[in-house]
Amino acid sequence: MPKSTNSNGEARKNLMNDLTEILFTEQQLKQRIGELAVQLREEYHDKRPLLISILKGSFVFLADLVRELDFDCTIDFMIVSSYGSKSKSTGAVKIIKDLDIDIENRHILIVEDILDSGLTLSYIKRILEAKKPASVRICTLLDKPARRTAQITADYVGFTIPDKFIVGYGLDYAERYRNLPVIGVLDPSIYSDE
């Protein structure tokens, strides 16, 4: 259990010490999200898309992205699990929370934190397409093609990353590190897959 700390950010500093390297700084994330917003504006400015955030990992990305969008859109959430407390996907996808609204004839943009094996996103996309939306596209902050086992690609990608286990900016390991303002590589001594 983490120790309680004072308000000087000691807890965050301790979490940052668990990183072996920082892949993307706060400024790099902000800049790239702004660039993605420009791309999305070209596609969706007149379509009133529904942005579907895949929780929990994408909530920080979605929050920053949606504040950059200057067109009408709506938001809904799905909670899907394929990791549990592991550092690699188990391959078994479980929907914990489905959508609250009807998506028939809507333009759908899935907002995801990371596309790695592709198993989860392939599954989600098939489920959504069965509900007869006008379109389904994927916007992922991070793309890790070295891990891909499903045939799926994102339509919008923030960054392509190497095959390393990363945390921060919403991404976690065992529900920790989501609150880091950067994306970094987690020290392998912190985790193990059994």
Residue positions annotated with a catalytic role: 116
One-letter identity of residue 180: L
DSSP string of 49-77, one letter each residue: PEEEEEETTTHHHHHHHHHH--S--EEEE
Say how far apart CA 91 and CA 102 lie, in whole Å: 27
DSSP string of 101-139, one letter each residue: S--TT-EEEEEEEEESS-HHHHHHHHHHHTT--SEEEEE
Backbone angles phi, psi at 153, to 5 degrees: -130, 155
Instruction: Please give the C-alpha separations between residue 60 and each of 50, 52, 148, 185, in angstroms, as whole numbers.
Output: 17, 13, 24, 18
- The structure tokens listed for 162 are 């190497």
CB 78 within 8 A of CB 112: no
Q: Within a 10 A sphere around the Cβ of 150, how many other Cβ atoms? A: 16
